Structure 1
Amino acid sequence: MRPGWPHAKRFGQHLIDDAATITDAKLEAVLAYEWRARLTAAWLIGVGQREAFRERIGSLLLDSEVCYSGKGYCFALARLGTHEDAEIICAYLDRYLPQTDLRYDQPEALGALLRLDVQLGTHHADRFTGADGLWDHWVRALVHLRDHPSFTPDEQRRWTDLQCDFAAGWSCP
């Protein structure tokens, strides 16, 4: 996704081809493996905008069984881009932002929700990002994140936008 990356076109084309050709049964199987496989499946679901996987992705995100894969689930939900996806992410943030001793995929979830708010003309994220809101409490509770410039809501949305715009750019024929 780095601007000027010489392999972007080839990588993007392979990603689109794989997202278009993988069967639902294979995606389900890959979603049952470890985090790398789940992350890959979530990206294929997001790139292919496979709406049939919304409920499964939402369940996996809310359960947060394995580390790192939630990044992919958030990407997929941001790419699907509906009010239902925003509701899933809100449920995740409601559950995990108050748990200030945990760092799962809260940043990616907030970034996805902020992107969805812009696309949908909603303000779901406001209740998390308002002054002294759950986002601020969560960041302040994790000492290593305090004052870290990449843990602002704007930075989280920027990163989600970068990923989704990358996928959208290669998803077009």
Structure 2
Amino acid sequence: MFPLHPVHLLQRRWEALNGLAVEMRTRDPQRALELRVTRRYVKAHGRYWYVFSGAALLLPTPRLRLFQRRLHRDARRATARELETLLSLGWREQAVGLWLIAAGRRVDLRNRLADMAAGDEHHGLADIGPAAACLGEDQDAETLARYLHVALAQGDEDGPRLALAALLHLDDRLGTHRAQEFLTTDGPWERYAGHAADPDDLRRSIAEYLALFSGGRPTSRAELVRDGAYPPGWRGWHLPPFF
């Protein structure tokens, strides 16, 4: 893994200082809050770049542990208002907000997730499945079912697969059968995807995220090495360092 060029580091430091200066000069309290949460959580020296690509599942163990510690720290420190602000902004901010809710098991944001799932605009909700799965109660399963009814009918590209996987996980945990209405022959999922879903594959996919958010070690990296896609000494891509 190659270090960032000093010029790039200086540019990132300058952007951070400039963002802080703009935030301090802003007189509108709501706009100042939006700038603050974006600077603090979304542009936090690049570490949440992993959220946007899912690359956190493939981090080598030392980076994974550092990422998990900082993710859980931020999930504890973020206030409900800060998280609600993240969820009200663009898809990057929403993605980070959902990961923080999942990692911190922030039940105080449960109703906010339900409101978002019931809305007509689902862009940026690709991670609502893992967030609801981490909260883990019957109300969260209802949120996922509500989301899937709308998202599958609209043909949303991001979100339905992980949401269905999360719903299967909650069915197993709660002893319910909500996912079956989506998995029936010629049902909502088959009409959406053009093929039947593999429940075992769905369960494995959500298990990776649950392991990540609970402080465990996802198996995606080891599977790629075992399958020969990458050599045993593979250290991952050139990712932004932590500061």
2:149 counterpart of 1:94: yes
Structure-2 separation of matches of 1:44 and 1:102:
23
**C-alpha distance in 1, partners of 2:152/2:199?**
13
Q: Distance in 2 between matches of 1:72 and 1:104?
A: 9
* Contact 1:129–1:135 (8 Å) recurs in 2: yes
Whether the 8 Å CA contact 1:110–1:157 is kept in 2: the answer is: no
**Paired residue secondary structure (1:123):** coil
Counterpart residue number, 2:99:
43
The alignment's TM-score, normalised by the length of structure 2, stands at 0.60
Q: Does the 8 A contact of 2:122 with 2:151 survive in 1?
A: no
In structure 2, the CA distance between the partners of 1:113 and 1:21, relative to structure 1 (3 Å rule), is: same
What is the CA–CA distance in structure 2 between the aligned matches of 1:160 and 1:104, rounded to whole Å? 15
One-letter amino acid of the structure 1 residue matched with residue 110 of structure 2? R
Rounded Cα–Cα distance in structure 1 between residues aligned with 2:59 and 2:91: 27
Q: Deviations over 1:30-87 (max 9, x none)?
A: 12211101110111011111111111112223325352x2122221111000111111
Match in the other structure for 1:118: 172
What is the deviation of 1:152?
3.6
TM-score, L = length of structure 1? 0.82
Root-mean-square deviation (Å):
2.1
Q: 2:181 aligns with which of 127, 135, 156?
A: 127
1:99-128: per-residue Cα shift (whole Å, max 9, x none)? 4x4434211210110111111111111111
Q: Secondary structure at the match of 2:186?
A: coil
Does structure 1 residue 168 correspond to structure 2 residue 168? no
CA 1:118–1:59 in structure 2 vs 1: closer, same or farther (change >3 Å)? same
Deviation at 1:21, TM superposition (A): 0.8
**Shift in alpha-carbon separation, 1:120–1:30, aligned structure 2, 3 A:** same
Query: Structure 2 stretches of 5 or more lacking a match?
Result: 1-56, 217-243
> Do residues 57 (structure 1) and 113 (structure 2) align?
yes
Q: What percent identity do the matched residue pairs reach?
A: 32
What is the DSSP-based 3-state SS (H/G/I as helix, E as strand, rest coil) of the residue aligned with 1:6? Answer: helix
Question: How many angstroms does 1:157 deviate by?
Answer: 2.6
